[in-house]
A = this chain, B = another copy of it.
């Protein structure tokens, strides 16, 4: 990938020693004065202290600095956790000459242990000194926990002859079922966007990307996603009525979706990338119920791991998804291009060899047609492998 940069954004990732040595675990991101930022945060009731504080700060001021540590989630840490997050923001504010409300704190890692504040505060001056505009890759690496690779997606396009860039980083491999929010993700553009438009773009984009993935159904306490517009590009992407350039909007959606897909491709222990398409639903909600029942079924996921076209498990998951008066004779299930289920039973054209050929692929699509309406939803998930068990039985994440 070419060097990525977004005018108005500088990043640094340093080894602060929060939990492990020899690992970049503290990231500082500087946003130019005048940049607009929108954010969405986890709906987990036990949301982490930094999530609570970041939400408060975002309401009060336009952020100038983002501080992200790995190795410790500062979640389930009560009043002390909130005080610790505040101390980190104060330290950045002092070092960088801004108000504490202009700093947003983020933490990811083990839940329930006190944040090593002194270690983090001690690292801030070197992070500040290291800020640069070509360090997106280092920052993407610096926010990883059980991730096996950094997640960085960017797009550039011309709008009215002027270049605009969008670049985002994300982390996450387990405890993934973002709910109206995401695992840690930060997306930046040099476009000029108003606050309401930024918020709308973030919410609608996240809803079709991070809010459509699941590894294990476990919504994290620390999920959040930010979108920042630095306004440094000369391109005009938003008109006075708040309408966005469609190519820009599409590019932004693509960045969010690709980042979300990257999370699933790097899901803990994953050997398969699985797309679950549910169509013909009466509502989006019922498509999502069916989709998540299939995507989170341990039996479906272990069959995927085994490359076993055991479609009865898919059928059983659809059947328990709670849809009222589901006409099972109208349900169709496809594995890739292969029709498996029709008229409530195995399709006449189906052969075990055809099912096996689909299952042997690394990328698998399960397409379910409910034939009750016009709604459709697409989810992304991974299989359930021995390595998932190993990673989560061996690692205190």
Q: Give A residues with C-beta under 8 Å from B.
A: 43-47, 73, 75-81, 110-113, 174-175, 177, 179, 216-221, 296-299, 302-303, 305-306, 308, 310-313, 315-321, 323, 326, 328-329, 341, 343-346, 384-386, 388-390, 392-394, 396
Residue among A45, A220, A299 with most chain B CB within 10 A: A45
What is the bound-complex CA distance between A240 and B321, given in angstroms? Answer: 42
Closest to A393 in B: B306
The interface centre, meaning the residue of A73, A318, A346, A388 with most chain B CB atoms within 10 A of its CB, is A346
Give the residue of B44, B316, B388, B390 whose beta carbon is less than 8 angstroms from that of A221. B316
Q: Which residues of B contact A388 (CB under 8 A)?
A: 298, 302, 389
A175 touches B221 (CB 8 A): no
- Interface pair A316/B389, CB less than 8 Å apart: no
Q: How near does chain B come to A155, taking the closest CB pair, in angstroms? A: 32
A80 nearest in chain B by CB position = B345
Q: Are B392 and A389 in contact (CB under 8 A)?
A: no
CB <8 Å contact, B392 and A320: no
Quote the shortest CB–CB distance from A320 to chain B (angstroms).
4
A-B contacts, 30 listed (Cβ < 8 Å): A44-B319, A44-B320, A45-B318, A46-B315, A46-B328, A75-B312, A76-B312, A76-B341, A76-B345, A76-B346, A78-B329, A78-B344, A78-B345, A79-B344, A79-B345, A110-B310, A111-B312, A174-B299, A177-B320, A179-B320, A217-B298, A218-B298, A218-B317, A220-B316, A298-B384, A302-B388, A308-B393, A310-B396, A385-B389, A388-B389
Given contact pairs A110-B312, A316-B44, A389 touches B396 in the complex (Cβ within 8 A):
no
A383 to chain B, nearest CB (A): 9
Task: For A320, give its contact among B219, B329, B384, B396 (CB under 8 Å).
Answer: B219
Cβ-defined contact, B315 with A111, below 8 A: yes
Task: Give chain B residues whose Cβ lies under 8 Å from the Cβ of A341.
Answer: 76
From B45, B343, B385, give the contact of A78 (CB < 8 A).
B343
| Residue of A112, A175, A311, A388 contacting most chain B CB atoms (<10 Å) | A112
CB of A320 within 8 A of CB of B218, answer yes
Which chain B residues border A389 with CB–CB below 8 Å?
Answer: 302, 305, 384-386, 388-389
Query: What separation, in Å, do the CA atoms of A278 and B7 have in the docked complex?
Result: 52
Chain B residue nearest to A304 in the complex (CB):
B393
Q: Per a CB cutoff under 8 Å, which of B317, B345, B393, B394 touches A77?
A: B345
Beyond A175-B299, A302-B393, 19 additional contacts (C-beta under 8 Å) are A45-B320, A73-B312, A76-B315, A78-B344, A177-B320, A216-B299, A217-B298, A218-B298, A219-B316, A298-B298, A298-B392, A302-B388, A302-B389, A302-B392, A306-B393, A306-B394, A310-B396, A384-B389, A388-B389
